[in-house]
Amino acid sequence: MNGRTEDCPRRHWESAAARKEREDLESILQIKHLTHTYGVGTPFQRSAVEDMSFDVYSGEFLGIIGHTGSGKSTLIQHLNGLLKPTSGQILLNGKDIWAEPKKIRDVRFQVGLVFQYPEYQLFEETVYKDIAFGPANMGKTGEELDHCVREAAKLVGIRDDQLFKSPFELSGGQKRRVALAGVIAMEPQVLILDEPTAGLDPAGRENLLANIRDYHRNKQRTIVLVSHSMDEIAQNVDRILVLKSAHVLMSGTPREVFARADELISAGLDVPQVTRIAMRLKEKGLPIDPAVYTVQALEQELLAARKGGAPC
């Protein structure tokens, strides 16, 4: 437990969140009254996203959480212009991304989107070429391209000797890293990850998340992490956006969101395991704040409760 407190990345993220509050960081993406309706004019008409408004701040690590069918995937495909809003606007650095539909490709380079199970999009003969696909489409060549590719590979933990292998010889987890590197290599201002850890084992999951955290810390770039695992979100992000049936249910720091754990549960969502334990302890009569979501925080709450003289 001591070891974990030492290298706990938490403090860093919290300071980023605090900084955001202090300096009121600029919005990099602004979503304004976004609505997307599938099958307009057919009996199957259905809004996947309805009148959503929120901002993504520059340099933050935002988590989006919601049930299957809450509109997560539809929402993020709007952020890089893969889907066009039925109504509403998306502003990137204050400019409507659909102002010039011909330049939508530039938006995609600035807002990198990594789909779910991205390993199925690999196609090149070597890992190197596959990572280079994105930046080459941007028009990068020669040394600049080489630099992008190697740096992205290093960020996600791909060794140099793996660069010239066929991506199909790699394991599932490594393939996913290559796919992730393929988007990171475009050096997007905002990186959106849709369920990046789906289908990985616990070790692989933690490994990949550590890479993402490193990327965030070293590059100070904005990251949007979409997930349905509360624990994963709670332990990584500065701010959480909770979606429920095409609407934004709540948004705030993890602490603020998990303080409303009852609402989350009644919306059919999970709360982190630690929060659940704290809630139960409080029910049993311990005077602690149940809005904790890390083991360390719960530990401190418990120690404080003991000092206060509660039976523990």
Of the candidates 61, 8, 48, 13, the residue with the CA atom closest to the CA atom of residue 240:
61
Candidate ranges 23-31, 149-157, 181-189, 236-244; the one touching another protein (CB under 8 A): 181-189
Residues numbered 72 to 131 that lie near another protein (CB under 8 A) are 77, 80, 82, 105, 108-109, 112-115, 118, 120-123
When binding is defined by CB under 8 A, the residue of 5, 15, 53, 137 that contacts another protein is: 137
Burial class for 80, CB neighbours closer than 10 Å (0-12, 13-18, 19+): buried
Cβ 286 to another protein shortest distance, Å: 48
Q: How many residues bind another protein (CB under 8 A)?
A: 23
First to last CA, the chain: 19
Cβ 229 to another protein shortest distance, Å: 22
Alpha helices in 242-294 (DSSP H): 254-259, 261-266, 273-283
When binding is defined by CB under 8 A, the residue of 59, 66, 173, 182 that contacts another protein is: 182
When binding is defined by CB under 8 A, the residue of 53, 168, 268, 304 that contacts another protein is: 168
Q: Where are the extended beta strands (E) located within the chain?
A: 27-38, 46-57, 61-66, 87-92, 95-96, 111-114, 190-194, 222-227, 239-244, 247-252
Residue type, 246: A
Residue 66 to residue 72: CA distance in whole angstroms: 7
Cβ 102 to another protein shortest distance, Å: 10
In this complex, which beta carbon is closest to another protein, that of residue 98 or of residue 133?
133
In this complex, which beta carbon is closest to another protein, that of residue 53 or of residue 137?
137
> Contact between 64 and another protein (CB under 8 A)?
no
Of the candidates 259, 179, 84, 236, the residue with the CA atom closest to the CA atom of residue 96:
84
Which residues of this protein are in contact with another protein, per CB under 8 A? 77, 80, 82, 105, 108-109, 112-115, 118, 120-123, 133-134, 137-138, 168, 182-183, 186
